[in-house]
Amino acid sequence: MAKKSTSTTTAPDTAWLGRGRHIGPEPEQDVRRNLIALKAAGVLDDFLDLDPVEAARSTVLHPRDASADPGPSARRLFEARWRVADDVTVRAQLTLYDPEARRREGEGVTWVLAAEAEQAWDLRWPSPALMFWPDSDRVAWDHDTAADVRLRTANYLPKDDDELRRLLRDCTRQSWLIHVVVHEAMTPDVKGLLPVTAFLPPGLRHRVIEHRGTPEQAQIADFAMKRELSVRMPRGGAVVLPTEPPTPGYDAERFTVRSVFLDGSEPTELLDRIKEFAELPRPLPAEAERALTQLRQGWHLLTADEELTHARDMVTKYAEALEAMTKSRDLYQQAAEAAQAALAEVTGGDGVPRPPAAGTAKADGSPLSALTKAFGRFRDPNK
C-alpha cells in the first residue's frame, strides 16, 4: 500500500483541490469539448491547452522554481479562468498524469485539479470539476484514486469483512476526498436510492464520496469501523469518516448522525456535519501542495492587464541585469588598471623588476610588498 505523504501546510480558504481518475479512452478530448462548450456559452472567460514540456519552458507571471513543474509523468495541462459572484476571478489548472507503472492496464488516467479564487471560497459557487469535466454519467471521470469508488453516486460497501476494512483504510489514509457512510435501515424506494451528496452545495458536491450499507450490513459495518477507525455505525444513520493523520477538531460523536431518512428529502443534519467537516483545517497532501504551487507559480493564461504588467516587470528586470553587468565590467576595468599601475611602479615601466634602493629595503620591503601596497590603493573593502 502506498504511503500517504502530507505536509504541515493546511489548505488556504481561497483554494479548491481535487484528485481522481478518468476511466476511458480519450480524457483530453473530453476536457477540450467541455472547455470549448463552456467558453462558447460565456461561462468561461478563457482557457488554455498546453503540452507540459512546452509549459515548463514558457514565460510565466511569477518566478518559477522546481516545485512549479508538473513532473515528468504529466501528459497534458489545461488552464481555465472564470468569474463568480461580484466579478471574483477564479483560476484553475487541471493536470492529467500517465498511470503509474505498477498499476494494471485500463485503470485510467489520474487527474489533479487546483483552483484558487481572489477571495475565500464560497460553497455556492460552481464546482471547478465541472469547468473541465462534462456533467454526464457517460463520462467516468469521477473515480477516486484511493479505492474503486465514485463521486456522484452511492457506493455500496463490500460484503466481505477483509475487503471492507481495506476499503476503510484506503479511503481514510490515501484519499483527498471526504468520505461518508450512510446505513439503510430498510431497503429504500427509488427516491431513497439517490445519493444524498446530490443535496450538497455545488462547491462541495465533488469533494464528497458517499458509501452505503445495506440493512443486513449494520453489524459488520459497525464492527469494521469500530476496529479500524474507532467510530460507530448507527443503524439507519450516518457517519463522516475521520482521516489519517487525524484532522484537528474531529470528534467521532460530533460527526455521527443517528437517523437519516432515505425518502428523497433533504438530510439537513447530515449535510451540516459534512459542511462542518469540510471547514476543519486539514493538512495538505504533498501532491496537493505541489499542485497549488504549480497553479500560483506556473500560470500561463494571462489577461491583457497581466500581460502588460508582466512585460513591464521583464523590462525592469532586464534593466537591472544590464546595470549589474555594466558595474561588473567597470570593476574589472578598474582592477586591470590598478594592476597595470602597480606593475609599472614596481618595474619602472619596462617590465623588468628593479631591486630596492640602498637603505630603503627595511622601509619599503620587497618588490612584492610594493606591488601589494599599490593594489591596496585601489582596493574597495565593500565590494
Distance CA 42, CA 266 (A): 32
Give the amino acid at 326: T
Burial (0-12, 13-18, 19+ Cβ within 10 Å), 358: exposed
Angle at CA of residue 158, ends 152 and 159, nearest 5°: 145
Q: What rounded mean pLDDT belongs to the chain?
A: 86
* 96-126 b/e (C-beta count within 10 Å ≥ 16 → b): bbebeeeeeeeebbbbbbbbbbeeebebebe
Distance CA 27, CA 72 (A): 18
Name the one residue in this structure whose C-alpha cell is 443517528.
258
Residue 187 is predicted with a pLDDT of 93
Residue 57 is predicted with a pLDDT of 67
Radius of gyration of the chain (CA): 32
What are the tens digits of pLDDT across the range 262-290?
999 999 999 999 999 999 998 889 999 99
Q: What is the mean pLDDT of each run of 10 residues along the chain (383 residues)?
A: 57 95 94 98 96 69 58 90 95 90 67 97 97 95 94 96 96 95 95 96 97 96 95 96 91 96 96 97 90 94 73 71 79 82 71 56 53 56 50
CA-based torsion, 363, 369, 370, 374: positive or negative:
negative
Residue 61 is predicted with a pLDDT of 46
Q: Determine if the pTM surpasses 0.85.
A: no
SS (H, E, C) 132-149: HCCCCCCCEEEECCCCCC
Every domain of the chain and the residues it spans? 6-302, 305-376
- Number of Cβ atoms within 10 Å of the Cβ of 238: 27
Per the structure block, which three cell numbers stand in for 312? 513591464
Residue 243 is predicted with a pLDDT of 93
What are the tens digits of pLDDT across the range 328-354?
887 888 888 888 887 777 776 665 666
Distance CA 238, CA 3 (A): 28
Judge contact between 155 and 127, C-beta under 8 A: no
